[in-house]
Amino acid sequence: MAQSFRKPEILEIARQEGKVTVEGLAERFDVTLQTIRRDLSDLADAGKLERVHGGAILPSGTSNIGYEERRVLNAAQKLAIARRCARDVPENASLFLNIGTSTEAVARELLKHRNIMVVTNNMNVANILVANAECEIIVAGGVLRRIDGGLVGTLTAQVIEQFKFDLAVIGCSALDEEGDILDFDIQEVGVSKTIIRQSRRTFLVSDRSKFQRSAPARIASLADIDTFYTDAAPAPGLARRCAEWGTRIVVAQ
């Protein structure tokens, strides 16, 4: 079957089943795995699918991708972003790391930082940083979200309000063309707003896939962010807005 005919059918299968796998599609269309990977990459580049480990899913504007799939999605890009961000995190500082696989990648890059205090509402971040004896770890209480180890809710925000951080490193689920930072869980959004308010400087870490996604709840604007770390330059219009807002954009190589 020609590529032009496969792609619409792949999309239809994804709509019906919620997810497609490379092996399943290769068997269905009697083509090689590499051929299917190219098809899925083309569909992802067009914003019609999102690549996940072993296949792809439909972009979602109302629910997030599962944690285990997010953890392996764009792993190399997240690593590059995290390394570049960590270079700008000073030692002898207090900082907040919020929920997300990108902030978890930053935590791994902070394992050699000295004399830092990290407050987090991400149990995974806390467990990662246990390996750094030079890091004091404070876990903000709240309701545990079992799917990803996040702590959310009013109690979490109340704990965060007791601090004034030198720096916050946050992630998000989506970024729109107006520069709005978006997420899915309204409780998490409330916590993220508090984090930004209680931080002297805020870094956003987000790979290029977030430009192609949508989510229903607004955290803030890139105008509220000091530095945005990503792996691809945003669209020219958004880049101009960031320049007007004084938001620094760092593209990790």
DSSP letter for each residue of 112-153? T--SEEEEESBHHHHHHHTT-TTEEEEEPPSEEETTTTEEES
- pLDDT for the residue 62: 47
What single-letter amino acid sits at 217?
A
Is 50 exceeded by the pLDDT of residue 134? yes
Cα dist from 127 to 13, 124, 131, whole Å: 39, 5, 8
CA distance 138 to 124: 13
Same domain, yes or no: 32 and 96: no
Kindly report the length of the chain. Answer: 253
- Residue 237's domain comprises 71-251
Q: Is residue 2 pLDDT above 80, yes or no?
A: no
> CB-hemisphere CA count at 13 Å for 31?
14
Tell me how crowded residue 71 is: count the other CB atoms within 10 A of its CB.
16
Which one of 59, 86, 105 terminates a domain? 59
What's the pLDDT score for residue 65? 59
Q: If DSSP codes are grouped into helix, strand and coil, which group holds residue 47?
A: coil
Provide the CATH number for the domain around residue 95: 3.40.50.1360
Q: Which residue has the higher pLDDT, 49 or 106?
A: 106
pTM of the predicted model, to two decimals? 0.76
Task: Give the chain's mean pLDDT.
Answer: 90
Is residue 64 in a domain? no
Q: Domain check: are 29 and 100 in the same one?
A: no
pLDDT for res 224:
98
**Angle at CA of residue 250, ends 161 and 176, nearest 5°:** 70
Together in a domain, 41 and 122:
no
The verdict on 161 and 226 lying in the same domain is yes
CATH of the domain at 17: 1.10.10.10
Q: What's the rounded mean pLDDT across residues 41-69?
A: 75
Q: Do residues 21 and 120 both lie within one domain? A: no
At 170-215, the pLDDT tens digits run: 999 889 999 999 998 888 899 999 999 999 999 999 998 888 777 8
Q: What's the domain count of the chain?
A: 2
